[in-house]
Amino acid sequence: MEKKKVVLGVIGSDAHAVGNKILDYSLTNAGYEVVNIGVLSPQEDFINAAIETNADAIFVSSLYGHGEIDCKGLREKCNEAGLNDILLYVGGNIVVGKQDWDDVKKRFLDMGFDRVYPPGTAAEVGIKDLTEDLSKRG
């Protein structure tokens, strides 16, 4: 069976590389093909990588607090590019400061993300959800 593909990157002007390297390692270990566009990646790079590789999901990381500005419009741009049903996950420290998590989660779900993760989520949690979400799609 062909491996499922995940585009992985850290969005915007964010240089946090550690989680990115660990997610890459963990996803690869779990049997996924990882297209890692690395840190400091604009929305366009995620989309282009997903189109070029025919990816099944995009994992967006944001650790520096600008996540809300950086992620705005990503789902719409994916749709415009023809990536209509691609899975969009986001996680990290995605807003500035200690905010009510339910509010934050809702804001990002409303933006069109399929899964939203709070700070400190283990890579395995996202991978388990991904496997489930993909199996639902068959």
Partner 1 sequence: MNLKNKRLSDEAFFKEREEVLAGWPTGKEVDLQEAVDYLKKVPDEKNFAKALELAKRKGITLAQPRAGVPLIDKHIELLNHLSKEGGADLLPSTIDAYSRQNRYDECQVGIDESLKEGRAMMNGFPAVNHGVKGCRQVYESIDKPVQARHGTPDSRLLAEVIHAGGWTSNEGGGISYNVPYAKSVSIEKSLSDWMYCDRLVGFYAEQGIEINREPFGPLTGTLVPPSMAIVTGVIEALLAAEQGVKSITVGYGQCGNLVQDVAAIRALEELTEQYLKEYGYNDVVVTTVFHQWMGGFPEDESKAFGVISFGTATAALAGATKVIVKTPHEAIGIPTKEANAAGIKATKMVLNLLEGQRLPMSKELETEIEIIKAEVKCIMDKTFELGSGDLAVGTVKAFEAGVIDIPFAPSNYNAGKVMPARDNNGAVRYYMTGNIPFTKDIIDFNQSKLGERSEFEKRELSFQMTIDDIFAVGKGKLIGRP
> Does the protein bind partner 1 through residue 12 (CB under 8 A)?
yes
Produce one character per residue of 82-117: b if its CB has 16 or more CB atoms within 10 Å, e if not.
Answer: ebeebbbbbbbbbbeeeeeeeebbebbeebebbbbb
Nearest-angstrom CA–CA distance, 138 and 58: 18
Binder of partner 1 out of 46, 59, 64, 89 (CB under 8 A): 64
> Does the protein bind partner 1 through residue 60 (CB under 8 A)?
no
The tokens for 64 are 């520096």
> Does the protein bind partner 1 through residue 39 (CB under 8 A)?
yes
Binder of partner 1 out of 4, 5, 66, 105 (CB under 8 A): 66
CB nearer to partner 1: give 3 or 101: 101
Instruction: For the segment 76-95, give every residue that binds partner 1 (CB under 8 A).
Output: 93, 95
Cβ(65)–Cβ(98) under 8 Å? Answer: no
| Smallest separation, CB 66 to partner 1 (Å) | 6
Residue 14 appears among annotated catalytic residues: yes
Helices marked H in 17-73: 18-29, 43-53, 67-71
Burial of 72 (0-12, 13-18, 19+ CB in 10 A): middle
CB nearer to partner 1: give 77 or 133: 77
Q: What mask, x for binding partner 1 by CB under 8 A, covers residues 92 to 131?
A: -x-xxxx--------------------xx-x---------
Which residues are part of the catalytic machinery? Answer: 14, 16
